[in-house]
Amino acid sequence: MAQPIRLGLTPRDARAELQTRLQNAPLQHAEALLSAYELLQGLHDRGVLDLLRGGLGSSDKVLTILVDAAKTPEAIVASRNLLILSKIVFSLKPELLENISKAVPDSLARAREQKPLSLWQMFKKLCGKDTRRALSAMLGVLESFGKSLGPRSAAELHRAESDLTGMEPVAELAGRAQ
């Protein structure tokens, strides 16, 4: 009958392997280590490491200051405005922004080089198809802006105020639930 072959594996020593890798690391990564040392020395020379060490030592106080600053009404409004502006920017096509970024410096350069347009020349430019298209877009934005500035009903004002404060009267909440 066949006899089983005994497989005698020596136990793996993970610590010894790590020690070997650690000893070989300076040889294998000498250039990266030298670069890291230069970076650390530069941060130390400019006082950045001291600043970071101080920040870590007083991290609770720094965090409290940041949270208090973020809770101010101005910071909340700024955050909301930033989110709305980012929505606008993300909805625009890159080609449109690229055309605008090219048109503004070109128009300013032409305005510096030329003498000012006469009233008749300006009127002719206003009658151009592209100028009318741009004016139509701007007028649409102005019209929407004007509508948002118009008078509001009492219910809309109350709703806007409660949105700002984040608190609604309990009676209204109960009335909506029914």
**Measured between alpha carbons, how far is 130 from 104 in angstroms, rounded to an integer?**
15
Looking at residues 102-126, what average pLDDT do you find? Answer: 88
Residue type, 70: A
At 124-139, the pLDDT tens digits run: 999 999 999 999 999 9
This prediction's pTM: 0.42
Question: Burial code of 19-36, b = ≥16 C-beta within 10 A, e = fewer?
Answer: eeeeeeeeeeeeeeeeee
Residue 79 pLDDT: 93
Residue 93 tokens, joined: 């096509």
